[in-house]
Amino acid sequence: MRTDGTVDRRGLLKVAGGSVAAMGLTAAGCGAGSGAGGDGTVTIRYAWWGSDDRAERINETIRLFEKKHPKIRVKTDFQPYLDFWKKFNTQASGGNPPDVFQNAIGFLRKYDEKNVLLDLRPQAEAGNLRMRGFRAGLEKFGEVDGKLLGVPVGSNSMALVIDRAVFAKAGITPEPGWTWGEFQAAMAKIRDTQGRAGDSGLYGVMYLYDLHLRQHGKAFFTKDGLGFTEADLTEWWTAARAGVRSGVHADPKKVAQIKPKSAVAGELAAAEFTWDNFTIRYTSEGKSQYGLAPIPTTDGRRTGQYLGSLMLSASRRTKHPEEVARFIDFMVHDPEVGKIMGYDRGVPATTTQYEAFTPTDEVNRQIAAYEQQLVDSGVLEPITPHPAGADVAEAAFLRIAEDMALGKRSVAEAVAQFFTEAKTALGS
């Protein structure tokens, strides 16, 4: 789950289904990590994706780490999301991945099956990596088949981002436990009273569809493949198309025309389902005030939600597993790192960093309050690590859904095409 809101979701996922271009290696030199220097100094390589602002923050945390660990040097490499995964794929295929790198749940099984990821559990057992003190069970997030393949750095969850002024004028105050029927009625009321669509559209929001499936005891992915049927997806996409035709959901063609600006900031819709920490994006793009509303439910209780997270993973080829483990430990536990990073990668995953950073702006306070409400209400559920090929299936879902929304495919054609591509990607 992505926590950098500087690029639209379609752009982020194009890399997943495309060919990998050959790209050069980082300036850190050959091999998974540089050897120890004559004075015993060890150099490790650290790579991540994100914006220039994230790079500045991370570089500041690295300076702090090197000051406290003078025998460990860190060489860095950051790219935009697309370029990061292109480069990483090339490096991993050539046996030269960085020692430690930013990762996401959609890639754990994929790179574990390719023997790229280091099982960090032995380092945790040796005391080099603390796996206690995480919020809301996040320490389990990077576990796959008994192996510890990633350590969370932050958390986020799906939410409904709303234009607070429009909702207030329409007299709508979403409360936890509201149902999909109440959501649809609210969207229709906004359409009828405020002169814009209620929601930006449900076609291609894969993680929202996952929550809807989980509310019915299913899931988008299982550990082996897809967890739903063609009939399930036909029902979802048919309802989404009906919402567009009725004006409850925004016109997909108009939404496409204003990208990368969101439909909410562009005043085409009053609400949009996305990750909670993306709320910052709307504030920078739009003229209104934006807030977070709860996910609708089927039964008035179960939302299907979980806390997602970016994480740090290590290369199986690293020559310095202990130093890598100590680096990861520092990055997820040190309170000064929490103050520096803030909510850049989501709400801090550990209690020490969560307590060290107190947001001063209204948007970040809303994000913290939203996630705390999820924890306190007990609605959070575990997430199943995605199967290998999930990134390709997700890209196909987004692309095919957009084609259908723009009138290039019928619902039946879109469903058939998605299942054909997904089964190929997932090997099922």
pLDDT digits (tens, 9 = 90+) for 134-147: 998 899 999 999 99
Residues in the chain: 428
Coil/strand/helix, residue 215: helix
- Which residues on adjacent β-strands are paired with residue 292? 161
Taking the model in full, what pTM does it have? 0.81
Convert 276-304 to b/e letters by CB count within 10 Å (16 or more is b).
bbbbbbbeebbebebbbbbbbbeeeebbb
- Mean pLDDT is lowest, of 36-50, 63-77, 246-260, for 36-50
Cα–Cα distance for residue pair 416/229, rounded to 1 Å: 11
Tell me the pLDDT band of 35, cut-offs 50, 70 and 90.
Answer: low
pLDDT at 4 exceeding the cut of 80: no
Contact of 185 with 354, CB cutoff 8 Å: no
Task: Identify which has the larger pLDDT, 28 or 364.
Answer: 364
Element (H, E) at 231: helix 230-245
Task: Give CA angle at 22 (19, 26), nearest 5°.
Answer: 130
Closest CA relative to residue 349, chosen from 143, 139, 147, 158 = 139
pLDDT at 119 exceeding the cut of 70: yes
Cα–Cα distance for residue pair 342/57, rounded to 1 Å: 9
- Mean pLDDT is lowest, of 30-39, 108-117, 296-305, 355-364, for 30-39
pLDDT at 122 exceeding the cut of 80: yes
How much of the chain exceeds pLDDT 90, in percent? 79
The total of other beta-carbon atoms located within 10 Å of residue 339's CB is 14
The total of other beta-carbon atoms located within 10 Å of residue 401's CB is 26
Cα–Cα distance for residue pair 72/122, rounded to 1 Å: 20
Task: Give CA angle at 140 (316, 373), nearest 5°.
Answer: 140
Q: Which pLDDT belongs to residue 23?
A: 29
Q: Tell me the mean pLDDT in the region 220-240.
A: 95
CA 196 → CA 200, 205, 239, distances in Å? 10, 20, 19
Q: Which pLDDT belongs to residue 95?
A: 94
What residue type is assigned to position 344 of the chain?
A: D
Q: Is 83 exposed, middle or buried (0-12, 13-18, 19+ CB in 10 A)?
A: middle
Q: Which pLDDT belongs to residue 281?
A: 83
Cα–Cα distance for residue pair 27/305, rounded to 1 Å: 40
pLDDT at 325 exceeding the cut of 60: yes
Tell me the pLDDT band of 298, cut-offs 50, 70 and 90.
Answer: very high
The total of other beta-carbon atoms located within 10 Å of residue 398's CB is 21
Cα–Cα distance for residue pair 281/174, rounded to 1 Å: 21
Task: Identify which has the larger pLDDT, 32 or 249.
Answer: 249
pLDDT at 427 exceeding the cut of 80: yes
Q: Which pLDDT belongs to residue 10?
A: 39
Tell me the pLDDT band of 283, cut-offs 50, 70 and 90.
Answer: confident
Q: Tell me the mean pLDDT in the region 56-65.
A: 97
* All domains in the chain, ordered by first residue: 30-155+310-361 (3.40.190.10), 158-306+385-426 (3.40.190.10)
pLDDT at 276 exceeding the cut of 50: yes
pLDDT at 316 exceeding the cut of 70: yes
Q: Tell me the mean pLDDT in the region 80-106.
A: 94
Q: Which pLDDT belongs to residue 38?
A: 67
pLDDT at 382 exceeding the cut of 90: no
What's the per-residue H, E or C state across 348-386? ECEHHHHHHCCCCCHHHHHHHHHHHHHHHHCCCCCCCCC
Element (H, E) at 347: strand 347-348
State the DSSP string of 252-271: HHHHHHTTTS-TTTTTSEEE
Coil/strand/helix, residue 74: strand
Q: Which pLDDT belongs to residue 309?
A: 81
Q: Which pLDDT belongs to residue 15?
A: 36
pLDDT at 223 exceeding the cut of 80: yes
Cα–Cα distance for residue pair 371/298, rounded to 1 Å: 20
